[in-house]
Chains A and B, each alone.
Chain A
Amino acid sequence: MNPTDTANPDYYHRVVDCQWACPAHTPVPEYIRLIAARRYTDAYMVNWWSNVFPGILGRTCDRPCEPACRRDRIDDKPVAICRLKRVAADNRGDITPFLPRIPKEKNGRRIACVGAGPASLAVARDLMPLGYEVVVYDEADRAGGMMLSQIPAFRLPYEVLEDEVNYILDMGVEFRSNHYVGSLKSLLEHEDDYDAIFIGTGAPRGRELDIPGRQEAADHIHIGIDWLSSVAFEHTERIGRRVVVLGGGNTAMDCCRTARRLGGEQVDVVVRSGFDEMKASEWEIEEAMEEDIPIHNFLVPKEFLHEGGRLTGVRFDHVRREVDESGRRRLVPTGEERIFECDDVLVAIGQENAFPWIERDIGIEFGEWDMPVVDRVTFRTTHPKVFIGGDAAFGPENIIWAVAHAHEAAISIDRACRGEDLHDRPPDHVTLVSQKMGIHEWSYDNDIDHARRYIVPHADKEKALAERRMEVELGFDEDLGYKEAMRCLNCDVQTVFSESLCIECDACVDVCPTDCITFTENGEEADLRTRLMAPARNEEQALLVSDLLKTERVMVKDEDVCLHCGLCAERCPTSAWDMQKFLLDSAMAYEPEHGRGGGNGTGGERGNGHWQPPQRGLPPEAPSQPRQEHDHA
């Protein structure tokens, strides 16, 4: 293999699995260290700059970072990254001094954002500090979009949402509430002379289930997201005693748990295919089951049963899963039927985009599935002034993807307004700084914590089911947050190798606890992967390969299960290994003058003079033994 090109930021970025997996590339280990140092405001700001809604995401994020966590690959469970984010949000101080100053003198450009969900708000957040005038339209009376209408209050308290929405609106965004935009054409041609329009209208249409009985029993059959929305806006306060929820995604989980709080005593979730194929996040399924909601699988709905205009139940065909020669799975009826008697049905089988308000003759090309054609890099449509992001762009995803789209769209809008090439993207900000503070002293805590993942406390079930708005997850307190933060392996502190200094003494090979390092004859990657101290079978993880050493061998490090404990660097007599912190801040339209978070958690290049070393050992007054997750018994 050729020597690894570590000058390409992607190399070290990929080693930080959580950050790489995060659509917004939030520097996760960076803020986790700040939490361990109890610098919650700083930890919050690192998040706020990157993902805009730390308090909301700390409760509702889809957490692509967690399955990516390295701890998952060393016979352990991922760090509870999402819950730690919430610790930062819950314990933050006043952040107003750290918010960007909004220019009084505007730059004369006006931007419209359609929909007041996460994508539009994030675009507004990125553009306001640059002097843009931003107008946000939404049909609801409050801003928040799906975060307000679809995420139940027992998962996301309204105050948390309101705080973070207001940080943005208070920048001077003009929010036109109760204003449904019925025509893009008129917005483009007549209203207010916008320089750019951002569409962040989400995927607002719940998929319909057209089977016999749908019309006849319509009064008791509800589309999941519409029903959740009507609960959120307090138009709906009750549901029948027996409820069937159709669908296996997160909306279905929100529906069934909301139903339990609105009078549903017997709530059943029914999914077409296997339990293991459900789209909902594992933890949301667990929480639904905790609330005594059974999940039935391999049942395909065939008919809504009704009597005199009243729903009486749902009839299902039982199916089994068959895999054909090409590996494609099919659901084959077994001939059995099942009937679930019920008073109400919630249909949560998917969401769709809908653009009835976009005229087809104004220069916006529509492609497959009647979706507007959107450039995946610039988020611009075929109309030079119209941009789309969030669920509206490529179909339903989640909040963190919406934020990631918004950052890119804001860059594009800014460049478009300044007449610059949209495909000429600004680079990410990258630094790589040695963490060495002395002999065997590092500015991060390299003493690996062996604790298992801590269990987050929950509210009492009876009370939570009785009060729709009571938050179920209580979050980690400071002490548990500290303990969980210490589980982070600091994957951003990279093992940087300098072949010119290496004397090939094998000390790093001998000390490495996870057999990552090998000195061997060079070869092709497939061959090298078999010849290491431990075979490198995880091909998603890169090999760090050095140039030829004195003995004509190369150093090969498998990044897969490196603990970043720094022992290779501690036992290296010549500092050929060094532990260097890689910090990547994704490019944004607006770059804050004083950095993104008031300090970097390990001292060094972004320090603000207030750095405190992370505490070692247990903090004072440790309470009773916290619970940790163990392998499923």
Chain B
Amino acid sequence: MTHIAKPRFTHPLLGTNALGLSRRDYEGSMSTLCAGCGHDSISAAIIQACAEMSMPPHMMAKLSGIGCSSKTPNYFLSKSHGFNSVHGRMPSIATGSNLANHELYYVGVSGDGDTASIGLGQFAHAVRRQVNMLYVVENNGTYGLTKGQLSATADVGMRSKTGEINPHDSIDLVSLALQLGASFVARGFSGDKEQLVPLIKAGFSHRGFALLDIISPCVTFNNHAESTKSFDYVREHNAMMNRPDFVPRREEITVSYEAGESRDVTLHDGGVVRLHKLAEDYDPADRVAALHHVQELQTKGEIPTGLIYVDAKAPDLHARMGTPPVPLNRLGEAELCPGSARLEAINSRLR
């Protein structure tokens, strides 16, 4: 690990955003991950996305479980809230936090172990409940922190760096999230920030559960010639379903494209994702078609990336439960105590 702190000197042309913050203000401590880890690129992408969107750091919360990926919230947004939870239990913390204060932006960072193994049950319920959060899976198909065992997202038949062949089928988090009702499903690649940064921005703008599965090669244990999650393999098999551009609500859309070449999706907060290089006849608003498309590509050994499915109008957890507009953590005794007359009415209804 690097022993020195990142110098505070910046490029003289480094600008500031609408909040007067530079990209460097969204950084965290120096990463302690292996040099070249895909996860560090994802942290950099989150930093870039937040800086460009002028996200207020004090209105953001970063949550994670256990694993290499779950260490990364320490490496970005040092001025935001954070909670590093028990292994696989980040979805519960996110659900609880979100219920208590829906005004914060939540970003959960998890890995393939934390989400697809120990935390699979928790993950499923956070999706099902439409917790309003950006759920990032830093997916490298290996348990890096315990020295490279095959994880639940490793492809069947793949040989690990130590020669072990994976006898089990892999869990595809994209398909799972589609089935469980996620209203935003995307996949990115840590080695392609041009695609990844707009996906992160769109995820923040979406209201509801946004899954962003990011293939993030493990340079130490899963970047060998036979890996299906190496830089080279992903670059060769990347079936890019679209290249998104994100336009925040405040900015006017000026560029126009030929019909069929691109498609605009307006998100909940008014931001627009413009999808370029769309696969032919592909409709990201059709859940069944999306699932079909993903399955079809994956059967051929391809890795579909891009914004795979989005339903900007789906109700989130709070909408479904009918909670009041004021966050629950700010309700006082007066609002919370219904009074004896009201209590009597409720009780009598149950008699």
Contact at B40–A507, with CB atoms within 8 Å?
A: yes
Assess the B223–A503 pair: CB atoms within 8 A: yes
Query: Nearest Cβ distance between residue B240 and chain A, in whole angstroms?
Result: 14
Using known A-B contacts A446-B4, A507-B41, A565-B4, determine if residue A572 contacts B35 with beta carbons closer than 8 Å: yes
**Does chain A have a CB within 8 A of B119?**
no
Q: How far is the CB of B45 from chain A (nearest CB, A)?
A: 9
CB distance from A598 to the nearest CB of B (A): 29
Cα distance A381–B186 in the bound complex, in angstroms: 76
Asked if B231 lies at the interface with its beta carbon under 8 angstroms from chain A, I say: yes
User: Is B41 within 8 A of A563, CB to CB?
Assistant: no
B9 is contacted by which of A75, A535, A573 (Cβ under 8 Å)? A75
Cβ-based interface call for A627 (8 A): no
Known contacts A440-B3, A503-B36, A570-B35; is-contact A514 B10 (Cβ 8 Å) = yes
Say yes or no for A74: interface residue by CB 8 A criterion: yes
List of A residues within 8 angstroms of B9 by Cβ:
74-76, 448, 450, 513-514, 561, 563
A466 lies within 8 A of chain B by Cβ: no
Question: Once the chains bind, are B12 and A75 in contact (CB under 8 Å)?
Answer: yes
Q: Find chain A residues with CB under 8 A from B34 CB.
A: 573
Q: Quick check: is B1 within 8 A (CB to CB) of the other chain?
A: yes
Chain A window 568-602, contacts with chain B (Cβ cutoff 8 Å), 1 for yes, 0 for no:
00111110000000000000000000000000000
Please, what's the 1-or-0 string for B186-213, where 1 marks a CB less than 8 Å from any CB in chain A? 0000110100000000000000000000
Q: Which of A513, A516, A550 has the most CB of B within 10 A?
A: A513
User: Which of B35, B37, B40 has the most A CB atoms < 10 Å from its CB?
Assistant: B35
- What residues of A have a CB within 8 angstroms of the CB of B219 in the complex? 503, 505, 573
Query: Which of A73, A75, A516, A573 is within 8 Å of B36, CB to CB?
Result: A573
Chain A residues near B231 (CB-CB < 8 A):
503-505
Q: Does B44 contact A (CB under 8 A)?
A: yes
Main DSSP-derived SS at the B contact region: loop
CA–CA, A537 and B10, complex, Å: 15
Residues in A with CB closer than 8 Å to B235 are 550-551
Answer whether residue A567 sits at the interface, using C-beta atoms and an 8 A cutoff: yes
CB contacts between A and B, total, < 8 Å: 103
Shortest CB-to-CB span from A197 to chain B, Å, is: 51
Q: A440-B2, A505-B191 are in contact. Are A565 and B40 (CB under 8 A)?
A: no
Contact partners of B3 in chain A: CB under 8 A: 440, 447
Give the chain B neighbours of A76 by CB distance below 8 A: 9
Interface residues on B, range: 35 or more
CA separation between A74 and B14, bound complex, in Å? 11
Select from chain B the residue with minimum beta-carbon distance to A537: B13
The answer to whether the Cβ of A511 comes within 8 Å of any Cβ in the partner chain is yes
Contacts of A503 in B (CB 8 A): 36, 219, 223, 231-232
Give residues 509-530 of A contacting B (CB, 8 Å). 509-511, 513-516
B127-185 CB contacts (< 8 Å) to partner A: none
Closest to B24 in A: A513
Nearest residue, chain B, Cβ from A507: B36
A512 CB, min distance to chain B CBs, angstroms = 9
Instruction: Report the separation of the CA atoms of residues A448 and B30 in the bound assembly, to the nearest whole angstrom.
Output: 14
The answer on a CB contact under 8 Å between A534 and B36 is no
- Given known contacts A506-B44, A506-B191, A535 and B13 CB-to-CB distance under 8 angstroms: yes
Considering the complex, give the chain A residue whose CB is closest to the CB of B41: A506
* Residues B6 and A513 in contact, CB atoms below 8 Å apart: yes
The residue of chain B having its C-beta at the shortest distance from the C-beta of A446 within the complex is B4
Whether, in the assembled complex, B330 has its beta carbon less than 8 Å from a beta carbon of chain A, the answer is: no
The reply to whether A510 and B2 contact each other, CB–CB distance below 8 Å, is no
B11 close to chain A: CB less than 8 A: yes
Nearest-CB residue, chain B, relative to A536: B13
Residues B1-42 near A (CB distance < 8 A): 1-14, 24, 31, 34-38, 40-41
CB proximity to B under 8 Å, residues A455-489? none
Residue of B1, B13, B37, B235 ringed by the most chain A CB atoms within 10 A: B13
Q: How far is the CB of A251 from chain B (nearest CB, A)?
A: 36
B65 CB–A CB distance under 8 Å: no
In the complex the two chains form, is B35's CB within 8 Å of A571's CB? Answer: yes
The complex places the Cα of A75 from the Cα of B37 at a distance, in Å, of 32
- Docked Cα-Cα span, A513 to B5, in Å, equals 10
Asked if residues B35 and A534 are in contact (CB atoms below 8 Å), the reply is no
Instruction: Give chain B nearest CB distance to A537 CB in angstroms.
Output: 7
Residues of A within 8 A of B11 (CB): 514-516, 533-534, 561
Q: Max chain A CB contacts within 10 Å: which of B1, B2, B40, B41?
A: B2
> Is B227's CB within 8 Å of the partner chain A?
no
**How far apart are the CA atoms of A579 and B7 in the complex, in Å?**
17
Report chain B residues within 8 Å CB of A511.
Answer: 6, 31, 40
The residue on B at minimum CB distance from A570 is B2
Tell me how far the C-beta of A529 lies from the nearest C-beta in chain B, rounded to whole angstroms.
12
Whether B36 contacts A450 by the Cβ 8 Å rule is no
- With A514-B9, A535-B13 already in contact, the answer to whether A504 and B4 are too (CB < 8 A) is no
List the A side residues contacting B31 at CB < 8 Å.
511, 571
Contacts of A75 in B (CB 8 A): 9, 12
How distant is the Cα of A570 from the Cα of B10 in the complex, in angstroms?
18
Inter-subunit contact A561/B12 (CB<8 Å): yes
| Residue among B12, B14, B232 facing the most chain A CB atoms (10 A cut-off) | B12
Inter-chain CA distance A537–B13, complex, in Å, is 10
Q: Are B41 and A505 in contact (CB under 8 A)?
A: yes
Query: How far is B7's CA from A447's CA once the two chains are assembled, in angstroms?
Result: 8
| B113 interface residue per 8 A CB criterion | no
How far in angstroms is the closest Cβ of chain A from B300? 22
Which of A74, A510, A533, A563 is within 8 Å of B40, CB to CB? A510
Q: Among A503, A509, A537, A551, find the residue whose CB has the most chain B CB atoms closer than 10 A.
A: A503
- Contact yes or no, B36 A448, CB < 8 A: no
In chain A, positions 538-584 with a C-beta closer than 8 Å to chain B are 550-551, 561, 563, 565, 567, 570-574
Chain A: minimal CB distance from B41 (Å)? 5
C-alpha gap A448/B2 in the complex (Å)? 13
**When each residue 494-505 of chain A gets 1 if its CB lies under 8 Å from chain B and 0 otherwise, what string results?**
000000000111
B41 touching A534 by the CB < 8 A rule?
no
Asked if residues B41 and A572 are in contact (CB atoms below 8 Å), the reply is no
**CA A561 to CA B10, docked complex, whole Å:** 9
| Contact present for A565 and B7 (CB under 8 Å) | yes
Answer yes or no: B110 CB below 8 A from chain A CBs.
no
Contacts of A563 in B (CB 8 A): 7, 9
Complex contacts, A537 vs chain B, CB 8 Å: 13
Task: Give A347 to B91 CA distance when docked, in angstroms.
Answer: 83
Q: Which of B10, B193, B232 contacts A506 (CB 8 A)?
A: B193
Min CB gap A29→B, angstroms: 17
Q: How far is the CB of B314 from chain A (nearest CB, A)?
A: 33
Which A residue sits closest to B193, measured CB to CB? A506
Shortest beta-carbon distance, A348 to chain B, in Å? 38
Q: Which residues of B contact A567 (CB under 8 A)?
A: 2, 4, 6
Residues from chain B with a CB closer than 8 A to the CB of A450 are: 7-9
Q: Which residues of A contact B14 (CB under 8 A)?
A: 515, 534
* B15 CB to nearest A CB, Å: 9
User: What would 20 A/B residue contacts be, using CB atoms closer than 8 Å?
Assistant: A75-B9, A448-B7, A450-B8, A503-B219, A505-B190, A505-B191, A506-B44, A507-B36, A507-B37, A509-B44, A510-B41, A510-B43, A511-B40, A513-B9, A513-B24, A514-B7, A514-B11, A515-B14, A550-B235, A563-B7
Besides the known contacts A513-B7, A573-B34, A573-B219, 18 further A-B residue pairs in the complex with CB atoms under 8 A apart: A74-B12, A75-B12, A447-B4, A505-B36, A505-B190, A506-B193, A507-B40, A513-B8, A513-B10, A534-B11, A550-B235, A563-B7, A567-B6, A570-B35, A571-B40, A572-B36, A573-B37, A574-B36
Q: Which A residues contact B (CB, under 8 angstroms)? A: 73-76, 440, 446-448, 450, 503-507, 509-511, 513-516, 533-535, 537, 550-551, 561, 563, 565, 567, 570-574
Q: 6 tightest A-B contacts by CB?
A: A573-B36, A510-B44, A448-B7, A534-B11, A447-B4, A573-B219
